[in-house]
Amino acid sequence: MEKSSIAIIGIGEVPTGTYPHRSRWDIIYETCMAAVKDAGIHKNDVQGVVTVAPQAQPEIAAEISFGKIPEELGLRGCKDVCICNAGGASTSNCLRMAEQYIESGLARFVLIPHVTVHSSIPAPDLINFFAKAGIDLQWEYPYGTTYNGIIAMMTRRYMHDSGTSAEEMASIVVSLRKWATLDPNSIFFGKEVPSVDKILSSGMVSSPLHKRECNVLADGGGAMVVTSAETASQMGVPAAYKLGESTRYFSAFTTTRSTESVTTGFRDATREALADAEVSKEQIDIWNVYLAYPVGHPMFMEAAGLCGPGRAGKVFLEGHTWPGGKMPWATIGDAIGRGHTGSGVSMATYIETARQLMGKAGARQVPDARFVFQNTSGGSGMNFIATVWGRANKP
Amino acid sequence: MKQNLKPIPVTQPWTTEFWKAAKDGKLMVQHCRACGANIFFPKKVCPECWSDDLGWIQSCGRAKVYTYSVMMDMVEPKFMGDLPYVLAMVDLEEGIRMTTRIVNCNPQDIAIDMPVAVVFEDISPEFALPVFQPADESLRLQAPDEAPQATGQDAPTGLRPENYQTILYETGGENGAVCTITLNRPEKYNAINQRMALELVDAFRRVREIPTVGVVVLTGAGKAFCTGGDLEVFPSLAEHTSSLNWLAHEGLDVQRAIAGCEKVVIGKINGHCLAGGLELALACDLLYATESARLGTTEINMGVLPGWGGTARLPRSMPVFRAREIVFSGRKDYTAKEMYDMGLLTRVFADDGFESGFAAVVKNIASKKPVALRMGKEVMARSVDGCDLETALAVERNGIQWLTYAPDIQALLEQFRASPDQLTRTQKQSNLQSDRKG
């Protein structure tokens, strides 16, 4: 990017939890109204709505696809609407679409909502969805693959290649949960952070993954209001400015994905996003990483050159990524700490990026946070979208 | 178990050759004649050069394990019967990587880079999956021609006591006459999930085939007998068909498996025995509880009713005015003594005398001939099901007549015909022993 293009100026969120009796539209109302209010604009200022596609919820996805949000919320100034689906990378694409709306002059303010209510989806449907999402129906699924299973295989290989111990892997969960316990929007807010021993003594789901190293499916929702960087600066409101971006596509399926392509992609996309932002990795105050399961975190940390090969496990174990540590990391605790809301974890992570840069992160606030690196990733790890955000617009 | 059929590969026109060959025991690799690439997953055109000049080469079937995971939990119901199973990615010598399973070996023997060789596992009349076993024959559990075949449409669930996760299944007692089935999710107060329902059905059907067993004890590990359906099942009940299936498939199957088990099923109740847990107990033949046990049905507190036989069996187990109170009140604090007074339990023991008292009851009943216990269960079940007295008496008469002329009883009687006094003496002795034991 030649210059900063967009900024997040308003955020709204419901705590991640279990709301089987709460309607999805109730959550959409709450989060969207909060985001618009937080942005300090009028509802009729919203000229575009670009929604994160809810996963495994075909009815609400269809309703949103066919334009119900602006009508429901009475967004009288809305000029256009669409929905983006790239799994866990959906929110990144919503931001890109919003950027296009804004740069083309179609919209001044764009609303980006997300909602997921897993708890009202019948369990067999949910299990079935996650057994097939990003899993090939011909070459993987008939063998009894699950999300946990394919990640477990990646984890075993990573541990083998890097020499990372089970204790070090469990310490990633400890780190994520240390942030989550400070997050009022986390399903684990205020809950005891499990020790390495407790994690390793939880039941084995798919070796080497223990129960506490897997995600808890949860309900939640969030919304953001974005505008041009220029408008955000003129408004003088707290904002998160998008400074840089780069991306890599790997493959749709884990079977056909080489570890080398992933680590190279992590490295190159990160390097390019930082260069785009004209920020060095040393200047990054928060590494807001979203890779859903523990194994992605050390893989990324090593690939991005933030520690030596095979050292990442020790970085987590020694507490450098914890609140107060020298490398604040995944400050909502990723999906492990926040609770997995499908495509919503990427939304929650962007909201956290904005919250930190706006200085609204409460007990998790990293002092004087100026630059945040954030990534998203979709499917079963099909891609890696690296972004860099700043507290201020580029000079 | 047709609802648990394994998924078959969703093919494309350009992959049918692969599956035909697999059914014939050959592992094929798609090959581009234009650029020489070996391709996996097979494509319509070569992903390297977009040539459609594609063919197949036969793989040598040798590979190395790239990575693997032993699947222990949280899989789809259709795969639960396979647990634990080993998922793996293997690198074929032809330079492609496949997801597969490692079979026919102890999971502890598997390691990254271990050489493996392809074998084929039938999953349907049309499909066989390429899976891999250790290349080192000493690591294999069975020779290939002894390996289990065909897990197709009519295949069993694959559940075995060795891979039960939610219950324990043990046979023992004098002459192997007692089977103990323990609900074993103590951290969840033995709440019933889908896996437990499947395992209970399997266990109660399995024990029917053991002729030495006369008594099955159903009990719970830890502080409770069972507190009913696991909350993890509840979200699925929001959907109409899922809810009906939970009642009509798992629920009915479990009740039938217990009530229809040809052994005398004795419920051993400690701690809480609530909702679906009480309904499991109601399907048993005899119920013994500790004084501190607490029982009840709580479904009405959620606006529904007991759905695993509670409304049918409670009124058959006690006067209906008492059964109605249990269902309508939603109380979960009925003491064992209260339930006994209302007519439900066989007997209540003081907590400190429960184990010894219960053991004596089981020992005594287990000493009886399994065939007599089986006939007794059947005859009384028909009788309490509400047939008229004459029919019940006819069932009894004919059942006992059958028993009397059962081959093993006749063999004993042969001795007694010569010495009627001996028959009388033996009978008296058995009667006394039963009194002392019971």
Q: Does residue A56 sit within a domain?
A: yes
Question: Angle at CA B110, nearest 5°, toward B109 and B116?
Answer: 115
Q: Which of A129-133, A380-384, B45-49, B89-93 has the lowest mean pLDDT?
A: A129-133
Q: Number of folded domains in chain A?
A: 1
Instruction: Tell me which DSSP letter residue A323 carries.
Output: T
Active site positions of B, annotated: 279, 299
pLDDT on residue A3? 56
pLDDT at B249 over 90: no
Give per-residue pLDDT as tens, B94-105.
999 999 999 999
Residue B75 contacts A, CB cutoff 8 Å: yes
Contacting residues of A for B74, CB less than 8 Å apart: 127, 146, 148, 205-206, 214
% of chain B exceeding 70 in pLDDT: 93
Q: Indicate whether A244 belongs to any domain.
A: no
The answer to whether the Cβ–Cβ distance between A139 and B69 falls below 8 Å is: no
Q: Do B41 and A205 touch (CB under 8 A)?
A: no
Report A:141-160 residues touching B (Cβ under 8 A): 141-146, 148-150, 152-154, 156-157, 160
**Would you say residue A270 lies in a domain?**
no
Residues 6+ apart with CB under 8 A from A212: A170, A173, A194, A198, A199, A202
Kindly state whether B163 is in contact with chain A, defined as any CB-CB distance less than 8 angstroms: no
CB B322 within 8 A of CB B342: yes
pLDDT band at B238 (very low <50, low <70, confident <90, very high): low
Cβ neighbours, 10 Å, residue A224: 32
What is the extent of the structural domain holding A14? 6-121+217-235
- Sorted by sequence, the CB contacts under 8 Å of residue A193 that are 6+ apart come out as A174, A177, A178, A181
Token duo for residue B377? 């269960």
User: Does B68 contact A at CB distance below 8 Å?
Assistant: yes
Q: List chain A pLDDT tens, one digit each, 395 residues.
A: 455 589 999 999 999 999 988 999 999 999 999 999 999 999 999 999 999 999 989 999 999 999 999 999 999 999 999 999 999 999 999 999 999 999 999 999 999 999 999 988 877 777 778 778 888 999 999 999 999 999 999 999 999 999 999 999 999 999 999 999 999 999 999 999 999 999 999 989 999 999 999 999 999 999 999 999 999 999 999 999 999 999 999 999 999 999 999 999 999 999 999 999 999 999 999 999 999 999 999 999 999 999 999 999 999 999 999 999 999 999 999 999 999 998 899 999 999 999 999 999 999 999 999 999 999 999 999 999 999 999 998 76
A85 within domain boundaries: yes
Chain B: give the shortest CA distance to residue A128, in Å.
7
Average pLDDT over residues B307-335: 94
Answer whether residue A377 is part of any domain: no
pLDDT at B146 over 70: no
B366-425: per-residue pLDDT in tens?
Answer: 999 898 999 999 999 888 877 888 888 998 898 888 888 887 777 777 777 777 777 778
Question: Does A123 touch chain B if contact means CB atoms closer than 8 Å?
Answer: yes
Tell me the chain A residues in contact with residue B238 when contact means C-beta distances shorter than 8 Å.
20, 120, 122
Instruction: In whole angstroms, give the CA distance from residue A97 to residue B14.
Output: 36
Contact: A128, B77; criterion CB under 8 Å: no
Distance (Å) from the C-alpha of residue B219 to the closest C-alpha of chain A? 23
Give residue B4's pLDDT: 47
pLDDT at position B191 over 60: yes
Domain membership of residue A245 (yes or no) is no
pLDDT in tens, B251-307: 889 999 999 999 999 999 999 999 999 999 999 999 999 999 999 999 999 888 998
Question: Is residue A326 in a domain?
Answer: no
Averaged confidence pLDDT in chain B? 89
> CA angle, B222 as apex, B77 and B354 as ends, to 5°?
130
Residues on chain A touching B12 (C-beta within 8 angstroms):
138
Q: Do A142 and B12 touch (CB under 8 A)?
A: no
Please give the pLDDT value at position B154: 33
The answer, yes or no, to whether residue B81 has pLDDT greater than 90, is no
**Which residues on B lie below 8 Å from A150 (Cβ)?**
87, 99
Of B87, B232, B236, the CB nearest to A122: B236
- pLDDT at residue number B403: 86
CB contacts of B152 in chain A (<8 Å) are: none
Query: Looking at the domain assignment, is residue A72 inside a domain?
Result: yes
Among residues B8, B9, B10, B14, the alpha carbon closest in space to that of B32 is found at B14
Q: Is the pLDDT of residue B151 over 70?
A: no
B67 touches A: beta carbon within 8 Å = yes
Q: What is the ipTM of this complex?
A: 0.95
Picking from B349, B353, B248, B360, the residue whose alpha carbon sits closest to that of residue B308 is B248
Spell out which residues of chain B touch residue A153, defining contact as CB-CB under 8 Å. Answer: 67-69, 87-89
Residue B2: is its pLDDT beyond 50? no
What DSSP designation does A329 have? B
**Beta-carbon pairs below 8 A across chains A and B:** 132
Please say whether the beta carbons of B281 and B346 come within 8 A: no
The CATH number of the domain where A103 resides is what? 3.40.47.10
CA angle A352, A355, A359 (to 5 degrees): 140
